[in-house]
């Protein structure tokens, strides 16, 4: 459970710090979404014309967290996978989206 909270906290930190200009593809609609595949979960947040992504990727016995765009000086964060699965990572990201959307100023 502590690992889930750590991942959620890291995602929240990314939302607050990793905003980049997405003007090349037009302004994205404000909101938060979660997608996943066999090895990764991506949470995409958009607000005020800026979009950021937090990506959690299962890499062997680890979960690697990256941000796009990455804040200057930020390296990927690697933690032991433990009992994390794509399903638990996706559920954590969806909870982060709910919290983000509830806190978003409209």
Percentage of residues in the chain having pLDDT higher than 70: 71
Mean pLDDT of the chain: 81
The pTM (predicted TM-score) of the whole model is: 0.71
Structural domain count of the chain: 1
Q: Tell me whether the omega of the peptide bond preceding residue 69 falls within 30 degrees of 0, making it cis.
A: yes
Interval 29-59: pLDDT, tens: 789 999 999 999 999 999 888 999 999 999 9
Q: Which domain holds residue 92?
A: 2-103
Using alpha carbons, list the distances in angstroms from residue 106 to 27, 31, 102: 16, 10, 10
């Amino acid at each position: 459970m502590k690992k889930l909270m750590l991942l959620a906290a890291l995602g929240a930190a990314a939302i607050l710090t990793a905003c980049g200009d997405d003007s090349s593809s037009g302004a994205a609609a404000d909101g938060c979404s979660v997608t996943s595949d066999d090895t990764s979960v991506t949470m995409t947040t958009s607000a005020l014309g800026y979009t950021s992504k937090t990506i959690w990727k299962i890499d062997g016995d680890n979960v690697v967290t990256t941000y796009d765009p990455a804040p200057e000086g930020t390296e990927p964060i690697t933690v032991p996978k433990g009992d994390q699965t794509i399903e638990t990572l996706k559920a954590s990201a969806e909870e982060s989206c709910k919290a983000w959307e509830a806190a978003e100023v409209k």
